Structure 1
Amino acid sequence: MPVIRELGALPYARFLRPFEGELEVGGDYTEMHFEGGDLDHEDGGGSRIVESALTGLTLTGVKLDRARLDDVWISKSRWIGGSWSDASLFNVTILDGALAGVQAYGGIWRKVVVEGCKVDSLNLRAAKLRDVEFRDCELTEVDFGGAELNNVTFPGSVLRRARFSKVTVKTVDFRGARELDVVEGWDALRGAVINSGQLAEAAPALAQTLGIVVKDR
């Protein structure tokens, strides 16, 4: 998926207005630029964020439960804790940032690119991901348990201790991943695509999952 890398290249860049104040439950934020500084434990649950940009932020414990993000560009921002449960993300780009301990279970992500990010303990349980790309990311202990995965790819990314228990796979392609470490859910990944090198590395875990005993003598 094509990615816009500069704020000024956004089709709505010239309409952006600086955000002032605090997030509000059920707020409506259109053509806003959330720039720099810290947002601590603010609650934007149920809000709409449309054609907006978030740059250079540190967001700690921020709640966006049931929020809707449409055409949102996020760059060089750090999300620490907080929740995006049941949130809807459509045409969202997240660049060169970090997601740590974010609770994003039950959400709907469509046409989302996460690039150059460190992603740690992201909870995507029971989420629905369609046309989602994790590109050149470090993903550690990300939980996809029970999620529905449709056209999800991981080019250039490292997955460590990933969990895929009870996922529904429509199209998942791991071939571009630089490292693929799955600690739960190999049995649920029927239909996913891996390369021969990944198969060799995963062989012990696959054998254990299938109950195969490997003996040389």
Structure 2
Amino acid sequence: MSSPRQLADLPYASHLRPFDGSLTVDGDYDTVHFDGGQFEGADAGQARFLESAFSAVAFTGGRYRGARFNDVWLDGVRWVGSDVADSDWLDGELIGCVLAGLEMFGTVMNRVTFHRCKFESVNLRTAELREVTFADCLLRDTDLGGAKLTDVAFPGSTLDGVRCGNARMTRVDLRDATRLDITEGFDALRGATITGGQLLELAPQFAQAIGVTVQERGDALRAPRTARRKRQGR
């Protein structure tokens, strides 16, 4: 895994111009640098962001449904409670970002890398993720129900309360995840690769998912004796 790029490393860095204006529906933002701005309740549905950079920007609420993010770089961005559903991401890099309470169902991501990002209650249902990497990230209460994941990896990441019901996985690598807490959709792991240690940790959930009761023989034998003692004491 390569280190995150700095702003100056971007091939279009010398062409970036400061953002001056407002976000609008169907807006076109080409080689724009959003630096330290705050957008609250903005409506940028169907907007197009091409070769643009976002530094320490805060998005609160608002609508970005169907927006396109092509070759974008986001560093220290905070995105809370927004509608980003059906958006399209191609060749993106997000570093130290916080995504909380986002509606991102139906989103399509291709060749996107997240570095040290925090996901809190993000809805990625029916999303399509291809060649996406979550490096050293936290995914808490993230919903991947019905999503399609292909060539996705989670090196150094913590999965906490992730739901995968009806998801489809192809060449998904979970071996380097530091925690693998999946609360729904264990059958979706059919196309994933995990370690033997992770398999042992997940064994109780796998058993529960398929209706298998795990009980040691000693526990089963003690129950009748206890019952007999109770009867004898009457």
Deviations, residues 27-61 of structure 1 (Å, cap 9, x unaligned): 00000001103110101100110000001111101
Deviations, residues 167-189 of structure 1 (Å, cap 9, x unaligned): 11112111010000000000122
State the distance in 2 between where 1:143 and 1:3 align: 27
State the distance in 1 between where 2:106 and 2:100 align: 17
- Alignment of 1:8 with 2:8, yes or no, is yes
1:168 maps to 168
Shift of 1:4: 4.2
Q: Is the 8 A contact 1:4 1:10 kept in 2?
A: no
1:113 maps to 113
State the distance in 1 between where 2:172 and 2:11 align: 30
Shift of 1:118: 1.1
1:54 maps to 54
Pairing of 1:172-191 with structure 2 (within 5 A): 172-191=172-191
State the distance in 1 between where 2:117 and 2:4 align: 15
Give the SS at the match of 1:91.
strand
The count of aligned residue pairs is: 217
2:192 maps to 192
Deviations, residues 54-89 of structure 1 (Å, cap 9, x unaligned): 011111013211111100000011101101111100
Give the SS at the match of 1:44.
coil
1:123 maps to 123
Give the SS at the match of 2:152.
strand
2:98 maps to 98
- Alignment of 1:215 with 2:215, yes or no, is yes
2:134 maps to 134
State the distance in 2 between where 1:191 and 1:24 align: 40
Q: Is the 8 A contact 1:56 1:75 kept in 2?
A: yes
Give the SS at the match of 1:152.
coil
Give the SS at the match of 2:197.
helix
Identity of aligned residues (%): 44
**Structure 2 unaligned residues grouped into runs of 5+:** 218-234
State the distance in 2 between where 1:62 and 1:11 align: 30
Q: Is the 8 A contact 2:168 2:191 kept in 1?
A: no
Q: Is the 8 A contact 2:4 2:95 kept in 1?
A: no
1:89 maps to 89
State the distance in 2 between where 1:40 and 1:106 align: 23
Deviations, residues 2-45 of structure 1 (Å, cap 9, x unaligned): 45421011000010011112100000000000110311010110
Q: Which has the larger radius of gyration?
A: 2
Give the SS at the match of 1:189.
helix
Q: Is the 8 A contact 1:3 1:93 kept in 2?
A: no
Which amino acid is the alignment partner of residue 194 of structure 1? I
Give the SS at the match of 2:169.
strand
Name whichever structure is richer in helix by fraction: 2
- The CA RMSD measured in Å over matched residues stands at 1.0
Which amino acid is the alignment partner of residue 60 of structure 2? T
State the distance in 1 between where 2:14 and 2:4 align: 15
**Structure 1 unaligned residues grouped into runs of 5+:** none
State the distance in 1 between where 2:53 and 2:3 align: 14
Give the SS at the match of 2:72.
strand
State the distance in 2 between where 1:171 and 1:41 align: 38
